[in-house]
């Protein structure tokens, strides 16, 4: 059954919920709520990676996420840390995180692969080409599915060479990261390509509230080219979750854990009924 990874941004500037959970107490309460609503994993991040976001100082990132991770792990919540820095990854795993979710796939910090290999934790390697301030300048592809597949395959090779066990590597096609418009839909339509990269790599899909969903559901009468706002994209996100669950994707990364859990359970019930009829 597809797992639900709940998003917990301990940041003032994330695109959808920046500033809502930017104190430790608020973030801990939100993380516990996500778990109660059905999140199998709570993904704690202390640095926004929205388009145009500036990087935070390494010490500030650690200060933001560490007390939250410690508290949630202490309550038995499975925690992942959303970071591109090896220093933060090590501190987070020492504090109880079980997964490192690196949107750069190890490209942003040359020490990341080595540290993750030493930590022996699961590792999400997302497709990535550039930092947030310039990533849209890299959103040009002749064949987005082939190029993302090949670039992810190259990252897997480098990560395994650094000592990370293949079974610990989880792949993420990086929707919205150096991808605009139809590129995201092309990737979603060919998720099987990434599941076939070999070594049984699991697949994580993070579409929650992203701009390409807003463009797809823009309402009549709205200014042409203006997508629906992030706050209006949860139903569209749940549609993506449903399709991912139908395809057996390992996990979806979402803001609304309850809606995602409901969608996954409905797909599971439907699939179980079909199996009983065979």
The CA–CA distances, whole Å, from 264 to 6, 11, 62, 86, 179 equal 14, 28, 33, 33, 26
210 catalytic, yes or no?
Answer: yes
Max Cα–Cα distance, the chain, nearest Å? 57
The DSSP bridge pattern shows strands 202-205 and 99-102 to be unpaired
CA 73, CA 111: separation in Å to the nearest integer? Answer: 25
**For the chain, how big is the Rg over CA atoms in Å?**
18
Residue 56 DSSP symbol: P
CA 157, CA 216: separation in Å to the nearest integer? Answer: 35
- Catalytic pick among 90, 210, 211, 261: 210
> Helices then strands (H, E): number in the chain?
10, 8
- Catalytic pick among 85, 168, 211, 253: 253
Burial 35-52 (b: 16+ CB within 10 A, else e): bebbbbbbbbbbbbbbbe
Closest residue by Cα to residue 64 from 113, 107, 18: 18
253 catalytic, yes or no?
Answer: yes
Please list the active-site residues.
210, 253
């Amino acid at each position: 059954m597809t797992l639900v990874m709940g998003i917990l941004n301990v940041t003032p500037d994330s695109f959808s919920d920046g500033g809502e959970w930017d104190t430790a107490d608020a973030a801990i309460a939100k993380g516990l709520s996500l778990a109660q609503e059905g999140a199998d994993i709570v993904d704690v991040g202390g640095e926004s990676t929205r388009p145009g976001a500036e990087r935070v100082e390494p010490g500030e990132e650690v200060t933001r996420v560490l007390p939250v991770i410690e508290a949630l792990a202490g309550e038995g919540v499975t925690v992942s840390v959303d970071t591109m820095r090896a220093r933060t990854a090590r501190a987070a795993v020492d504090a109880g995180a079980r997964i490192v979710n690196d949107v750069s796939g190890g490209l942003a910090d040359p020490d990341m692969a080595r540290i993750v290999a030493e930590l022996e934790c699961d590792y999400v390697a997302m497709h990535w080409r550039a930092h947030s301030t310039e990533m849209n300048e890299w959103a040009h592809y002749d064949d987005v599915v082939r190029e993302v597949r090949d670039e992810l395959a190259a990252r897997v090779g480098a990560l395994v060479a650094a000592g990370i066990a293949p079974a610990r590597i989880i792949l993420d096609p990086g929707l919205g990261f150096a991808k605009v418009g139809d590129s995201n839909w092309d990737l979603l339509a060919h998720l099987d390509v990434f599941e076939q990269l070999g070594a049984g790599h699991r697949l994580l899909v993070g579409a929650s509230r992203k701009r390409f969903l807003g463009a797809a559901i823009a309402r009549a009468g709205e200014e042409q080219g203006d997508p629906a706002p992030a706050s209006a994209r949860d139903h569209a996100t749940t549609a993506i979750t449903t399709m991912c669950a139908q395809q057996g994707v390992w996990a979806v990364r979402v803001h609304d854990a309850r809606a995602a859990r409901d969608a996954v359970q409905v797909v599971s019930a439907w699939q179980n009924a079909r199996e009983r009829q065979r």
